[in-house]
Structure 1
């Protein structure tokens, strides 16, 4: 276990963008796979093969969009607001949740719409954004409090990736909800 931790730390220090992107992409993929499995078991759907095209979309998003964006964002946020004093912590939480997160959610829905080859790239985002953002606040504000108060900056995206495993399961579920425009 120490060897894995050492390897991870060296990778994060030497190649943070690549390492964070691979970690985030892997956890996005795992979250979508677990979401498909849970959906089938909880809803007692007829067993069918894993929907690989959906898994590939989440893999792409996590590795090439979400992971790099998060890696750059947290590096930037730590430089702009260094420290863990309560005042700094609140500032980071507010900026992260109310400035960055809305943009990230829009990016998620647009990226998925592009990968799904939808005609109107904003349609699903317009319909689902509000509920997704509200759910995000309930999930991420406590998670980010721990992140900014206790997690060393080198491990921030890894911590976020681990939290994201749960969050992406929620996001997958929100994305799967039928909208009035899809009916």
Structure 2
């Protein structure tokens, strides 16, 4: 039974790679926001301070995680893997530097700006200005080791799912940063 399910999942990813990645990545990102809200609104507070889950926020993360990020990541990793083939140290270093210093800054800016726009903030750039540098610094500490493992051990077809799994952890960090007053 498990083998049949595994084969069916592989077939879906092969036949519909962007859609499959979008569903998995979106589920993980929305799940990370749900986890973060559960912790901050239900578990780490006194009974009298508990709040309802913010469904609007879950919807915003679902949009980012299903419609925006997985499509960019799918195209990016497909290009990166075709341009830099193999797992030689020099190749891995090139991929890491490109991923962290070319792709990550625009993705982080997009995160803060698009989320601010969906939240209806008057100045959609303000949060990005305040939080971009500390977020990028934190992302270097998290993503450089995670992506090293990705580029060495993960087959190209599984890159977006691997990144989505890591992103579940990363989004918990990012959501925490977003909630901070910098």
Give the TM interval when normalised to the shorter protein: over 0.9
Equivalent position of 2:112 in the other structure: 109
| Structure 2: gaps spanning 5 or more residues | none
Q: Which runs of 4+ in 1 moved over 4 A?
A: none
Shift of 1:98: 0.7
In structure 1, how many angstroms separate the alpha carbons of the residues matched to 2:113 and 2:141?
A: 23
1:30-64 CA distance string (max 9 Å, x none): 00000011113224471221110111100011001
The alignment yields a C-alpha RMSD, in angstroms, of: 1.2
In structure 1, how many angstroms separate the alpha carbons of the residues matched to 2:94 and 2:170?
A: 22
2:75 to 44, 51, 72: 72
Is the 8 Å Cα contact of residues 21 and 71 (structure 1) preserved in structure 2?
no
How many aligned positions are there? 179
Which SS does the other structure have where 1:4 is aligned? helix
In structure 1, how many angstroms separate the alpha carbons of the residues matched to 2:73 and 2:13?
A: 14
In structure 2, how many angstroms separate the alpha carbons of the residues matched to 1:138 and 1:43?
A: 29
In structure 1, how many angstroms separate the alpha carbons of the residues matched to 2:68 and 2:85?
A: 25
In structure 2, how many angstroms separate the alpha carbons of the residues matched to 1:44 and 1:130?
A: 33
Shift of 1:174: 0.6
Is the 8 Å Cα contact of residues 35 and 169 (structure 1) preserved in structure 2?
yes
1:17-37 CA distance string (max 9 Å, x none): 111111111111100000011
Which SS does the other structure have where 1:83 is aligned? coil
In structure 2, how many angstroms separate the alpha carbons of the residues matched to 1:8 and 1:157?
A: 14
2:155 to 152, 155, 179: 152
In structure 2, how many angstroms separate the alpha carbons of the residues matched to 1:116 and 1:86?
A: 42
Task: Tell me, yes or no, if structure 1 residue 84 matches structure 2 residue 73.
Answer: no
In structure 1, how many angstroms separate the alpha carbons of the residues matched to 2:107 and 2:45?
A: 30
In structure 2, how many angstroms separate the alpha carbons of the residues matched to 1:52 and 1:70?
A: 26
Equivalent position of 2:44 in the other structure: 42
1:94 to 92, 97, 104: 97
1:131-167 CA distance string (max 9 Å, x none): 1001100100110000000000000000111111100
Equivalent position of 2:19 in the other structure: 18
